[in-house]
Structure 1
Amino acid sequence: MRILKIILIGGLFFIVSCEKELIQNPNTDKVANNFYTNEAELEEGVNAVYATLQFGGNYDIAIPALGEIPGEDAYDETPANDGGVYGEIDQYNVIPQNGLIENVWRDAYKGIQRANIVLNRIEDIAYDNATTKKARIGEMLFIRSLYYFNLVRIFGDVPLVVEEIINPQDNFGQTRTPKEDVYNQIITDLTLAVDLLPNRNEDNKMRVVKTAAYTLLGKVYLTLGDYPNAYDNLIEVVKSKSHKLIPIEEVFSTENELNEEIIFAVQFASGINANSEGTDAYRMFNPTGRVEGNMTGTKGHGVLKPDFYDLYEEDDLRKGVYVDVLESGIAYSKKLAIPSTVIGDSESDWVVLRYAEVLLMLAEIENQRGNIDIAIGYLNEIRERVNLGLYEGLEDKNSVFNEIDLQRRLELVWEGHRWFDILRQNRAGEVLGVSDSNRLLMPIPAKQIATDSALEQNPGY
């Protein structure tokens, strides 16, 4: 039968049809040109876009790894294992042949192409409910924006593709788009998504909703140093009253997933579909010596430094809930659930956006704008939730920033933010001692450049 096949052209992945007998999952054995002719088929396409978030190059492994391992709090306990791909990230000596970096590029563009297909086809498809159709467009714009936000922070300039690729040959010779243009597209898409997406409710909380678009757009503006626009979007999340801080032991509980603190999460499930719907993050990032029941085989690629655990004050409720320490002294994140079936099949969702970060971003923005009292107010919401009480330190801009930064580290540990925080604050030299600015971007994967020489490598690689 005719199937879809992923091929690499011009540094991007595209879906084309080919002749071959092969049994595949229902949402991948369709011919794009003959499919997506009605609402039910398009809904399959939408689900296929969401599915890409679970890929290894996205939120199963790579994005969390790149967000944490290069920072000052995590490190690779076994840097030579698994081809050294995590050790290279930890030691700032990534090579263009690094398999993890290849996966990031490949899987992000898979998701982008799938989103572009839906966006290209949906206008001609009649939906029973016009509101649902609008929501699906908003969801696709959000996910595409999320992928480009990751790509531009990791690689800098990247090819910007916002149309469905029908003929892969057309994309030979496409060069990298300046990051400023990529950010402009992200802002355009998210601004439109805000208007299209519905408010959060019990029926749609597993999907992208309006507060997710506001939060990501606010974070994009914060990354660009545009504090007024960052504030305008993030404050809408507060005003929506759709989210709140909850007891910390419930935030990452698998019994309470998609709770009111969670704004957007990539969903995983354990023990189903031949153990293919769980995340491998528990196995990859827990200490090599951690044994829980019959669960062994952890890789140690993202453990926490012992001095990080000591940053928590004695009465901080996050100590022992968010992080813990083995008898060996190695600290680790407890935000990932212990697998119940096989070691690479944890059911923990990967939380991409949550309300605690919204409050911390607002605190940072208000502090930067000189509104110290307001910044401390947001900061105190985080502190009081974990039994620390009100902030009593110096109330100058630098001191308050340091406390906000500390609380980001303690609250958001191993959620994939730290490296990107350091980058957007231009503090890699100060915090990490990284003096070579070329190491602040990852190399364009060697396979992409070998496929199309129009893609130029980042300096220093």
Structure 2
Amino acid sequence: MMKKYINFALMLLAIWVFSSCEDYLDMDPIDQLGEGSFYSNDEELEMATIACYSSLRSLSNEEWRLTEVRSDNARLYIKNTGDAVNVRLRQLDNFTVETTHAENQAYWEAAYKAINNCNVVLENIGVVSDANLKNQLEGEVRFIRAYIYFNLVRLYGPVFLVTERLSIDEGNNLSRSSVQDVYEVIKSDLVMAGGESGSTGLLPDSYDDADLGRATSWAAKTLLAKVYLTLEEYSSAKTLLTDVKDNSGYALLGEYEDVFDVNNEMNEEIIFAIRYLSGGYGQGSPFANYFAPRDGSLVSGRSYSYNTPSNDLIEAYDAEGDVIRKDVVMYDRWVDDSGNENFVPFVSKYLSEFENELDAENDWIVLRYADVLLMLAEIENETSSVADALPYVNEVRNRVDLDSIEVLDVPTQWDMKLAIEKERRLEFAFENHRFYDLLRTNRLTAVMEAHFNDEIIINTISEEGAVDSELYYAGVASDMSYLSEDGRTLQEWQFLLPIPNSVITVATNATQNPGY
């Protein structure tokens, strides 16, 4: 644990360095960042690289709003609240996001500031005298930049492709690059960082304990495989994933709950995570406070009931008899200070002990070994057979004491596709996978329309609350301009978020996504 503190001490130094460029950081995201004259030796470039990792926290702090809330895993706790933050969450929940949406803009700006940080390092990488360190730092920032662009292109479609620092005028004259061009840069960065299967990239395979959490070649290969899977380049994805499975040393932990234990961070299942540090250093995780029940006493400071588990997700765990994962992911009730039992679900996956509000220890896991197995299952189902996909799914299921699935249970490719979809949902709930999964498999419309039309809210003071249940989305129908006589519908243009209006205003060559 002490080694982690050393690592974050370096991060704090890096943040101090970047604070000298505060005037730039507060400007529009496609802009200059810092002065090249600072970066003159190995130590300074390493500090700048660590600052790139630090910038990922600003993204993960917001990403759940744009992904989990826009999936059938979650909904807003109070459906008709007038609180400004909850109003904006309701817009995300309903796919009615406005171009001035504050959290959408915050994510966009954080992404481009982080990309700019990466570009600063790449622009100055030549000052590093140690050849091995030079390769490592370049590989790290290419991995980080690719990860950010991968999320951006899935959330926004065509985006601004910025691979070097720009002047204000250059930034304001940019046009959005095609999805294909963005993916080419993502793939190029990850190939350079991690190498193809059997080849060596810039990144090392592992680090000593002092540097746990830095991107490895295996992280780059796993992310690249997910990119290939998204693009339906199945053969390339399978080759990389098989390499990770056979040679990386990562494996499923024996107990599901141990994956998320703050005393077991960066364990052998976690391939890459965005790291947080509790203790009043300004590096703590906010998710325990964000997700704990409002007016509860389960965490230090305030709690907000954001990202409330949907009734459908609860029923999915119960129907599967999936007690182990459900008990880690969520609580379906809680006891308040007066001893009253409240039948309101909340996400418990990020609960830990901490003293200050928004200062938990929990890392945000981006890639883990269970994902490798279930991606392989998806590829085998698409390219080979149900029988070839089953062992990967069953390895994940057996870890949580669920029976193996047999071929007779999933006789067709479609049946197996739905089984993998369900397994991914139950395994990765509230890890920001569900929206991307449904988008990748062309299932977003069908699943979300069912969610809109079937999601109920139950009585919150009775275990038998279903007798007083009501259709949740019926209470927010006024927000849904596309409500039809047959129920809620979802148009394809709503899959993409709007480019923030603040960007469209200054970037004169930029176009807005259709429908906004």
Change (3 A) 1:287 1:71: same
Between the aligned partners of 2:28 and 2:20, the Cα distance in structure 1 is 22
Normalised by the size of structure 2, how large is the TM-score? 0.81
Deviation per residue, 1:303-338 (Å, 9 max, x gap): 101332232233642131222211433323222023
Is the contact between residue 10 and residue 174 of structure 1 (CA under 8 Å) also seen in structure 2? no
Matched, 1:141 2:142: yes
1:429 positional shift: 1.7
Between the aligned partners of 2:354 and 2:284, the Cα distance in structure 1 is 10
Q: Residue 89 of structure 2 aligns to which amino acid in structure 1?
A: Y
Matched, 1:65 2:68: no
Q: Which residue of 2 aligns with 1:22?
A: none
1:379 positional shift: 0.4
1:11 positional shift: 5.6
Correspondent of 2:106 among 96, 103, 122: 103
Q: Which residue of 2 aligns with 1:154?
A: 155
Matched, 1:435 2:442: no
Q: Which residue of 2 aligns with 1:325?
A: 332
What secondary structure sits across from 2:504 in the alignment?
helix
After superposing the two structures, state which structure 1 stretch, 429-438 or 249-258, moved more. Answer: 429-438
Q: Which residue of 2 aligns with 1:288?
A: 294
Change (3 A) 1:104 1:297: same
Correspondent of 1:447 among 457, 480, 502: 502
Is the contact between residue 268 and residue 349 of structure 1 (CA under 8 Å) also seen in structure 2? yes
Q: Which residue of 1 aligns with 2:168?
A: 168
Q: Which residue of 1 aligns with 2:225?
A: 218
Structure 1: gaps spanning 5 or more residues? 17-31
1:362 positional shift: 0.7
1:34 positional shift: 1.7
Is the contact between residue 134 and residue 197 of structure 1 (CA under 8 Å) also seen in structure 2? yes
Q: Residue 435 of structure 1 aligns to which amino acid in structure 2?
A: L
1:368 positional shift: 0.8
Between the aligned partners of 1:289 and 1:376, the Cα distance in structure 2 is 44
Is the contact between residue 317 and residue 386 of structure 1 (CA under 8 Å) also seen in structure 2? yes
1:104 positional shift: 1.1
Q: Residue 397 of structure 2 aligns to which amino acid in structure 1?
A: R
Q: Which residue of 2 aligns with 1:23?
A: none
1:239 positional shift: 1.6
Between the aligned partners of 1:8 and 1:257, the Cα distance in structure 2 is 33
Indicate the percent of aligned positions where both proteins have the same amino acid.
Answer: 34
Q: Which residue of 2 aligns with 1:81?
A: 83
Is the contact between residue 301 and residue 356 of structure 2 (CA under 8 Å) also seen in structure 1? no
Q: Which residue of 1 aligns with 2:515?
A: 460
Is the contact between residue 242 and residue 260 of structure 1 (CA under 8 Å) also seen in structure 2? yes
Correspondent of 2:417 among 390, 401, 404: 401
Is the contact between residue 171 and residue 507 of structure 2 (CA under 8 Å) also seen in structure 1? no
Q: Residue 407 of structure 1 aligns to which amino acid in structure 2?
A: E
Pairwise mapping of residues 240-389 of structure 1 onto structure 2 (< 5 A)? 240-246=247-253, 247-273=255-281, 276-292=282-298, 295=300, 297-312=302-317, 313-314=320-321, 316-326=323-333, 327-389=341-403
What secondary structure sits across from 2:139 in the alignment?
helix
Correspondent of 2:33 among 15, 19, 22: 15
What secondary structure sits across from 1:319 in the alignment?
helix
Q: Which residue of 1 aligns with 2:8?
A: none
What secondary structure sits across from 1:336 in the alignment?
coil
Deviation per residue, 1:378-419 (Å, 9 max, x gap): 001001100012113133211111111111000000000111
Q: Residue 413 of structure 2 aligns to which amino acid in structure 1?
A: K
Q: Residue 124 of structure 2 aligns to which amino acid in structure 1?
A: R
Structure 2: gaps spanning 5 or more residues? 1-16, 195-200, 334-340, 450-488
Q: Which residue of 2 aligns with 1:420?
A: 436
Q: Which residue of 2 aligns with 1:19?
A: none
1:7 positional shift: 5.5
1:355 positional shift: 0.6
What secondary structure sits across from 1:352 in the alignment?
strand
Deviation per residue, 1:201-225 (Å, 9 max, x gap): 4434320001110111011111112
1:3 positional shift: 3.5
Is the contact between residue 295 and residue 303 of structure 2 (CA under 8 Å) also seen in structure 1? yes
Between the aligned partners of 1:261 and 1:373, the Cα distance in structure 2 is 25
Q: Residue 206 of structure 2 aligns to which amino acid in structure 1?
A: R
Between the aligned partners of 1:339 and 1:153, the Cα distance in structure 2 is 34
What secondary structure sits across from 2:405 in the alignment?
coil
What secondary structure sits across from 2:410 in the alignment?
coil
Is the contact between residue 68 and residue 419 of structure 1 (CA under 8 Å) also seen in structure 2? yes
Q: Which residue of 2 aligns with 1:91?
A: 94
Q: Residue 270 of structure 1 aligns to which amino acid in structure 2?
A: S
Normalised by the size of structure 1, how large is the TM-score? 0.90
1:451 positional shift: 1.8
Correspondent of 1:208 among 211, 215, 235: 215
Q: Which residue of 1 aligns with 2:186?
A: 186
Change (3 A) 1:209 1:7: closer
What secondary structure sits across from 1:148 in the alignment?
helix
Is the contact between residue 25 and residue 113 of structure 2 (CA under 8 Å) also seen in structure 1? no
Aligned length: 437
Between the aligned partners of 1:391 and 1:202, the Cα distance in structure 2 is 39
Between the aligned partners of 2:309 and 2:295, the Cα distance in structure 1 is 13
What secondary structure sits across from 2:163 in the alignment?
coil
Between the aligned partners of 2:31 and 2:311, the Cα distance in structure 1 is 41
Change (3 A) 1:368 1:264: same
Between the aligned partners of 2:322 and 2:494, the Cα distance in structure 1 is 38
